Structure formats: C-alpha cells, structure tokens
Structure 1
Amino acid sequence: MNPVKVRDLEIGSGKPKIIVPIVGVTKEDIVNEARTFGDLPLDVVEWRVDWFEGSDDFSQVKEVLEGLREALGNTPILMTFRTSKEGGEKPIEMADYIALNVNAAKTGLVDLVDVEAFSGDDVVREIIEGAHANNVKVVASNHDFHKTPSKSDIVYRLRKMQDLGADIPKIAVMPQSTKDVLTLLAAAEEMASDFADRPIITMSMGPKGVISRLAGEAFGSSMTFGAAKKASAPGQMGVLDLDVVLEDIHNAM
C-alpha cells in the first residue's frame, strides 16, 4: 500500500489520521470555528460546504476557503459537498457539483476534495482529472445511512473507487446489529490486505459502530472522523477522546 502525501501529512502510515469537520452555516461561523482548532490533535479539517448558506455562489465559497486557509495554516483542508441523497444538507445539479469541486481545486486553497463515487462514472472521472491537474487529492466516498451491505459488496464499492482513480476510497455504512459492524471490519481488512494499493477509509456509523472508528489501524482504515463542535455524522466521538484511544491502540500494537 502506497501512502498519500498531503502537505506534511502522510496518510496510510502509522496511526489513523483524524479528520475534524466544520458544518457552519455562515462564513463567520466557519472561519471562527477553524480559528479554535490550534491546540486540537487533528490532522485534516473537512469543510462541509453543503451546510454553507452561500454554497451556490463560488465567489462566496472561495472567500470561505481563503479564510480557512489563513486560519488553519499548513493543516490540510478537505472540501466536501455531501449531497442530500447521501445524507447531506441539500441537492445539487451534477454540472454544478463538477464545477464546484474542480474550481475549488484550481484555487490552490484545498488539498483534497470529496466526490461521491456513485454520482456517475463520467462525473467522478471528470472531478478526479480536474483535481489531479491541480495537484489536489480525491477522496471517493459512498454512504448508506440505512443498512450495511454484504462484505463482498463493500469490497466491490471500494475497489471501484480505486479503479476510477480516487486517491483514497471511503465507505460509511449503518449497522442494524453488531454483526453488521463485524461485516464492515471484515470488508476493510479484506480490501486493505488483498486489493488496496492506496489508503482506504471505512466506518460503521451510529453508536453500534463506534468501535470501527477506533480500530482502523488493526483493520486497515487510514483515517477517522472526530468532532470538535458539531458532529457531521452519527457516532463521531469528540476529537480529544478519540486521539487518546487511537494513541493507546497504536502504542499497544
């Protein structure tokens, strides 16, 4: 497996890297929250642009990115527009989705963008090509807030993301039982051990799935999400507690 280098961060080696989301509505809320992150044990900040009131006006999006970059210094920024069909705040036309991500990459202000892997292969490829042309990495993602697919289906989805050229395939699923959590962990291990040539991110959401957010180093998931203020998905732990557990597991291993 080849780690992915983003600024001074090497994703895919050592303990799982911590991503902290920002889900503010106004520019002031978003940038002010980023300014409070200085002492937090985080590796990447994810800006959930679908929460932003001006997400349909790229000039406003760019202004927020400029504020985030100033506030965060050298911390990598992942920009994500999570569509309503995958649990986000609002829908978006695919042409606008492509333009948003590619134009963000062109600014030089973001380090990674998220593309929903089942938006259509042509859409995904266009965003990946546009991001890579501007030295921006791509997280391809898939979310199921209702169930946990079979192990073979989870592995298939992650392999498809890899085949499409994403730098980091990611899947998040909802367990209906503890056995579902084991299914997700087994799929992560199989993907990481048998198929992945790059870092992956996997998680089981909600209270039942919390263990999957902590055990990535054992099962092959390279990153995990922790909340500084407001969680962006069910089951996210506070970033301070998350860091302690990840460090303890890393040291024990």
Structure 2
Amino acid sequence: MNRTVTVRGVTIGEGIPKICVPLVGKTVQEIIEEAVSLKTLDLDMVEWRADFFEHVEDISAVKTALEKIRGILDDRPIIFTFRSASEGGNREVGKEFYFELNKVIAETELADIIDVELFTHEPDVKALLEFAHQHKVFVIISNHDFAKTPSKGEIVSRLRKAQSLGGDIPKIAVMPNSSGDVITLLDASSTMAEKHADRPFITISMGGKGTISRLSGEVFGSAITFASAKAASAPGQMTVNEVRKIIKIIHENK
C-alpha cells in the first residue's frame, strides 16, 4: 500500500488504525445529544448512520441534521452512511433514492466521506464516485455479509473490485461462524495489504468471535476500526476507550 487518505488532519492508512465511532440517534434531538457526547471521546472519526434517522427519507431533513452534526463536531472527520437493510442496515429504500441521497450529501461538502455499497448498480456507483470527487468528498466502497464469511479469494476479490472502481477506501465486513472464519478474514486482509492494495482498506470480522479483527488492523492491514460510544451499530463493537487502549499496546509492541 502506498497511498494514504488525509481528512481534516487525520491520515488514514499509516500508523495506528483510526478509530471511528457511529452516531445512531433516531431523532434530531438524540443526534445532537449524541454528537455533543462524542466530542468528549478519544476518537478519530465519526460515522453518521443515517439509516437510523427517523426522517431519513426527507432529504431536506437529512441535510439539516447533518448541518447540526457538523456544527457540533467542528473539524472531526465525518463519514455519511446509509446502510441498506440488505447489508445489515436499519432501513431499505429504492435504488434511485439511495443514490440521490448520497449525491445531495456529497454536494453539501459537510461530510468528508460517503459510504457507497459495492453491490449496487455499477454505473451509478461510478457516477456517484466521480460526483463526490468533484466536491472533494472521499468514498468508501463497502460490502457487508451478516450471514457468513466468504472464502479468502472472494474477500480479496471484493476488495479489489472496490479498489478498481476507484473507491478511496475499500471495505468489507463479514460474519464468522467459527474461529476459522476469523482466520480467513485476517489472512485475506494480509494478502490484500501485501499484494494488491494501493490505498487504505477496511476489513472486519463481526460478532464476538471477530473482536480480534477490530484490534489487530495494524498487523493485518485494516486502516480503520469501529468502536461504540453507547449503542453499537454492528455486532461485536467494543467501546472506544477499550479499543484505544488495546490498539495502542499493539502499536507500541509491533
């Protein structure tokens, strides 16, 4: 890997993995309160999981909420994510709305990164990516499997596909059904880092079995890890303080 992504002074892809904490409030008031509390935590980035927002299908309301989040979080990097129910998210919307929502958010330039799902309409993914880059917004191209862990070759293939599409940060999160599945994910991460990646990427093995993958990114190649403040947005998330302590120990002894 030879390229990093720098967002508001945070360089992704070098040194210790960056810690991202999800914001998952349902109402504007909950979102405001949560954003204020996140300012007190030792985190690197915030991901607004807009699929939890009760008015997410009102794009004007989404923009207003994002303005409030940006106003509170000041210079913290913000990832905007609408996670589809089919990929473990809280809501499902039509393809046309999904791309329009992300396009509008990119155009505001209030979020620094948007998350776009790999297995949506490829021409639309490419068009959205180009549009986001025009507005100096980075793009995570992601894939989530909440049922199983694909083979090592398939994991690497999906990461390489996201990279070939031009995603700034490819991402895959999978569910382990055995300890061997966790090893598969870590092995795929290592292979991606050593042989294929020319940019930062994210790999996660979810659930309790996969906890080690959230802590060992610096060893196996994953550049961002996700931790919770209060409510977790995915199975197996630890608190930000726990993650910070452990990844620091790994970094110091690497």
In the superposition, the TM-score normalised over structure 1's length comes to 0.99
5 Å-filtered alignment, 1:217-232, equals: 217-232=218-233
Distance 1:28 1:126 in 2: 34
CA displacement at 1:179 relative to structure 2:
0.5
CA displacement at 1:127 relative to structure 2:
1.6
Q: Give the conservation status (yes or no) of the 8 Å contact 1:24–1:30.
A: yes
CA displacement at 1:31 relative to structure 2:
1.5
Q: Which residue of 2 aligns with 1:160?
A: 161
Which range moves more in the overlay, 31-40 or 213-222?
Answer: 31-40
Distance 2:12 2:192 in 1: 16
Q: Which residue of 2 aligns with 1:236?
A: 237
Say whether residues 1:29 and 2:30 are aligned partners. yes
1:64-112 Cα distance to aligned partner (Å, 9 max, x none): 1111001101001100000011011111111111111111011121000
Q: Give the conservation status (yes or no) of the 8 Å contact 1:152–1:187.
A: yes
Say whether residues 1:104 and 2:105 are aligned partners. yes
Distance 2:242 2:111 in 1: 27
Q: Which residue of 2 aligns with 1:18?
A: 19
Distance 1:225 1:145 in 2: 16
Q: Give the conservation status (yes or no) of the 8 Å contact 1:3–1:199.
A: yes
SS in structure 2 opposite 1:221? coil
1:134-185 Cα distance to aligned partner (Å, 9 max, x none): 0000001000001100000000000000000000000000001000000000
Say whether residues 1:8 and 2:24 are aligned partners. no
Tell me which amino acid in the other structure corresponds to 2:60: S
Say whether residues 1:132 and 2:133 are aligned partners. yes
Distance 2:38 2:237 in 1: 17
Q: Which residue of 1 aligns with 2:197?
A: 196
- Work out the number of aligned pairs and report it: 253
Structure 1 stretches of 4+ moved >3 Å: none
Say whether residues 1:54 and 2:55 are aligned partners. yes
Tell me which amino acid in the other structure corresponds to 1:51: F
Distance 2:193 2:161 in 1: 14
SS in structure 2 opposite 1:237? coil
1:22-81 Cα distance to aligned partner (Å, 9 max, x none): 111001101110101222111110000011011011110011111100110100110000
Q: Which residue of 2 aligns with 1:245?
A: 246
SS in structure 2 opposite 1:208? coil
Unaligned runs of 5+ in 1: none
Q: Which residue of 2 aligns with 1:143?
A: 144
Tell me which amino acid in the other structure corresponds to 1:31: I
Q: Give the conservation status (yes or no) of the 8 Å contact 1:94–1:123.
A: no
Q: Give the conservation status (yes or no) of the 8 Å contact 1:181–1:208.
A: yes
Q: CA RMSD in A?
A: 0.7
In the superposition, the TM-score normalised over structure 2's length comes to 0.98
Distance 1:84 1:123 in 2: 19
Distance 1:121 1:192 in 2: 25
Q: Which residue of 2 aligns with 1:43?
A: 44
Distance 2:91 2:7 in 1: 29
Q: Which residue of 2 aligns with 1:64?
A: 65
Unaligned runs of 5+ in 2: none
CA displacement at 1:123 relative to structure 2:
2.1
SS in structure 1 opposite 2:46? strand
Q: Which residue of 2 aligns with 1:75?
A: 76
